[in-house]
Amino acid sequence: MLFNSIDFAVFLPIVFLLYWFVANKNLRLQNFLIVVSSYIFYGWWDWRFLSLIIFSSLIDFFIGKKLSICEKPSSRKFLIGASLALNLGLLGVFKYFNFFIDNFSQAFSLFGIALNPNRLSIVLPVGISFYTFQTLSYSIDVYRKKMEPTNDLISFLAFVSFFPQLVAGPIERASNLLPQFYRKRIFNNKDASNGLRQILWGLFKKVVIADNCAEYVNIIFSNSSSHSGSSLLIGTLFFAFQIYGDFSGYSDIAIGTAKLFGFRLMKNFAFPYFSRDIAEFWRRWHISLSTWFRDYLYIPLGGSKGNLLSKIRNTFIIFIVSGFWHGANWTFIIWGFLNAAYFLPLLISNKNRVNLDIAAKGKFLPSIKEFIQILFTFSLTLIAWIFFRAENTQQAFAIIGELFSYSILSAPYFPKQFSVLPYLLLIFIVLEWIGRENNFAIEKVYLSCKLFYRWTFFSFLIFLIVMYMQTKETPFIYFQF
């Protein structure tokens, strides 16, 4: 079920009414309703994949209970190893089996040996990378004795399957989200209103910005060899706003929806395109995944401790694994490697934690230095996004080559149907900049504007969403991961 669909527009009010008006006096019934609703939400794509999420949930629930009564180190290591093997094994089969088998056969072909391996004809379950990491955070934290295992199966199933963030995050930690299922929730009008505004902003990002950009991006990247450097540059620029509007839009809708039910999800985006260096960008982009890799991979590897070579090794590992997490394609691995290379000068010079605050905080405009830093960082990100969007590495390198050719000076291909898009992007960027010190951009509108101007603005956003809402449902980009 998609957030930007009629199905969800009907589903959400029904669940909301049942949750607050039927089950509101019984916490366990509320949690059970969340489980049932989440399974309906997830099973809307393909009910058969429900078995995977239920299996993964039950495995980690019972492993957690076993870890609570097991003190023998070797047994505890076996249990956490079993959790890792089963969860990552499922992820590996569905997401990476064909990638490895294809590359294995290609390696043999270099020596003149032809292999015809059997590939799996399977569909990647929606959200498997997200809920797998969510359940693993629970098992690892229980193993590390950072939290007590739960005996409440319903609450645990609700934690794993919580429908607002189930298929594309934020990837919640058990230590943050699971305890919220133990506490009685009381409807808070202020939080619910704030959640509705965040949902509205998320829909605007997805429907008006991302989906409109996607149309031009698909035209350019589907036949990139026939387009000039100038057209490819605009296509890459639009893709940057497409993926940001699409993914951060999903996160806004997820966080806003959770607020309607009395839950607080972690912030997943913090205006990353206003970053002044790559380190800051990665502190602001997909925060739930970046911090997950930091806590469960980077720090166990040694983190920033040890000598410079160890720091460099750990940095490249975390970025390359992050790239591979996004997809079974060499383009994602190179994307991760490229971001690690961007990060390297900051690491070596020990300047990776210089820009910890928002750009031009308390000011209307950035300084010239900050503007140049933001522009340079965004330019580096654009080059990396080419690998993220390209079908293969050959296409990515060809596009980059064309960007640095004389064709960059030619007139771009830009049909009249997209003539309004630059103005929409300009409005979007201005609103994001003005609201960059808040949790989401238009939160400031509510805090600072009078009632008439506030509702005029919200009505304008709703008008644009309705006007640009496509008759064909458009999935979110990160559903494929």
Active site residues: 326
Burial (Cβ within 10 Å: 0-12, 13-18, ≥19) of residue 69: exposed
Please give the Cα distance from 59 to 57 (Å, whole number). Answer: 6
Residue type, 102: D
Residues 320-329: contacts with CB under 8 Å, at least 24 apart: 321/293, 321/297, 322/289, 322/290, 322/293, 324/96, 325/129, 325/289, 325/481, 326/388, 326/481, 327/95, 327/480, 327/481, 328/95, 328/96, 328/98, 328/99, 329/99, 329/392
Which tokens in the block code for residue 21? 């008006």
C-beta atoms surrounding 97 within 10 Å: 15
Residues in Cβ contact with 167 at an 8 Å cutoff, skipping those fewer than 6 apart: 42, 126, 127, 130, 479
What are residue 459's phi and psi, to 5 degrees?
-65, -35
Residue identified by tokens 């909301």 is 16
The letter for the amino acid at 256 is: G
Cβ(273)–Cβ(378) under 8 Å?
A: yes
| Alpha helices, DSSP H, located in 70-145 | 73-109, 128-143
Instruction: Report the alpha-carbon distance of residue 93 to residue 402 in Å, rounded.
Output: 37
Supply the angle between the helices 27-43 and 153-161 in degrees, to the nearest 10.
Answer: 40
Burial code (b: 16+ CB inside 10 Å, e: under 16) for 192-215 equals bebbebbbbbbbbbbbbbbbbbbb
Contact 68, 142 (CB under 8 A): yes
Count of alpha carbons within 13 angstroms of residue 396, beta-carbon side: 20
Cβ-proximal residues to 105 (8 Å cutoff; 6+ apart), any chain: 115, 116, 117
Residues 6+ away with beta carbon under 8 Å from 116: 105
| DSSP codes of every residue in 74-90 | HHHHHHHHHHHHHHHHH
